[in-house]
Structure 1
Amino acid sequence: MNITNPYAQAGWAGSNGSAPLPSIYGALPFSSPSSGPSIYQFQFVSFSPDILNCTVLGPQSKPYFRLVDNAPSHNFTLLQDRDGKSLAVVEWRQSPGAVVEIRDIIRKQLVSSWLPLSADRKYRYMNALNRTFVWVPQNGNVGLYTYGTTTPELYARFVRAEGGVTLEITSTAIQIGLLESCVMAVALLQSGRFID
């Protein structure tokens, strides 16, 4: 009998440390204080008609961001916080291409410069906070990893499913200021619009 764990006394499976606890976030591994950073889930929902006009729900399914595509011209898409304050903007131009700016994170630049496609067209780089990351598709989702390190670290991943898109992001990524960049990147990569 394990006297330090009251759940073990009740005989609950996995409570004695012999079996891993199930993931509460789907494909990502279960997170505990000893296994690494926490994982937070953000859901892009209520597309009207697409991801460029939607609500982003954060933890406890509370509205966290809004993506707003100005109609009828659709020349701009804004990322707003829950209070309606603009955090980022995409200007949809024909030539030389769409331009993005994320306040205090990314200066105004072409989306194709911020999220450039690799030479082999298999992944995309993302430049934010004076660092380079890489979005890599694999096994039905797209993961954001550190770039230029011997052991790439997974910071976030997103998957499209019925009813919307889900972004899972680590507490480490949020702490260093990547949340808005990840939300904007997911919106652009899932927009169906030409971004190169």
Structure 2
Amino acid sequence: MYRFNNPFDGWKSDRQQTPSIYGALPYPGGSPNASSSTLSSFTFTAFNPNIMNCTIMGPDSTPHMYIVTDPAMPTYTLFKNANNQNIALIEWQQHPLVEVRGKLVKQEIRQWLSLSSDRKSRRMRVSGTSYSWSPYGETINLSTPTPHGSQSFVGRISRGRESIILELSSHAVQSDLHDVSIVATFLLQCGRNID
């Protein structure tokens, strides 16, 4: 079992937890930053037996992606699209690696999802743009800095009774940020060492 400091680990379907700044977020929660009607939802479901093997349903309620961790090769987790094409790969080792085809070259997860100095958020860089994953009430919000020094809402992670939900703004989906955000959501919720 890996030991780590992941501020977004902690959701367990078999017990109820109180929300904290470290990301134990048991229920879907509202965020004043965006209306649910303006967000596209990607739902991690059909855990077999957990998020390491599951289906991700897209906004149109059809399978968008599959996460596959073969017990015969447990050091690799594959992300496959609905056409069974490999989209992303996680290599579980002392310092795990991540790769997202066409979006993210293979690198250490701890560099791509770097922990902030106060250990309360994680930074993510995609195609030259910086993002931040931060606990917000009962969600983990994804935002990006604006030129005025504030944060612009991009999306959020919440938890249902038997699912994890990633909601993204229309701008994020149009910017093709959904697959990278799905991989990040998995990493923040899988319970494995990502540092």
> TM-score per shorter chain, which class?
0.7 to 0.9
Counterpart in the other structure of 1:142: 140
Q: How does the TM-score come out when normalised to structure 2?
A: 0.80
Question: C-alpha separation between the residues in 2 aligned to 1:132 and 1:66?
Answer: 26
Q: What SS does the aligned partner of 2:41 have?
A: strand
Gaps of 5+ in 2: 1-27
Q: Are the aligned partners of 2:29 and 2:138 in contact in 1 as well (CA < 8 Å)? A: no
One-letter code of the match for 2:86? S
Q: What SS does the aligned partner of 2:107 have?
A: strand
- Give the deviation of 1:31 after TM superposition: 6.8
Runs of 4+ in 1 over 6 A off after TM superposition: none
One-letter code of the match for 1:193? R
Counterpart in the other structure of 2:62: 62
Gaps of 5+ in 1: 1-24, 33-37
2:178 is the counterpart of 1:173: no
Q: What SS does the aligned partner of 1:172 have?
A: helix
One-letter code of the match for 2:35? F
- Give the deviation of 1:173 after TM superposition: 0.5
Q: What SS does the aligned partner of 1:153 have?
A: strand
Aligned alpha-carbon RMSD (Å): 1.7
Query: CA 1:195 to 1:61, structure 2 compared with 1: closer, same or farther past 3 Å?
Result: same
Q: Are the aligned partners of 2:156 and 2:166 in contact in 1 as well (CA < 8 Å)? A: yes
Counterpart in the other structure of 2:122: 124
Query: CA 1:195 to 1:123, structure 2 compared with 1: closer, same or farther past 3 Å?
Result: same
Q: How does the TM-score come out when normalised to structure 1?
A: 0.79
2:37 is the counterpart of 1:48: no
Query: CA 1:99 to 1:27, structure 2 compared with 1: closer, same or farther past 3 Å?
Result: same
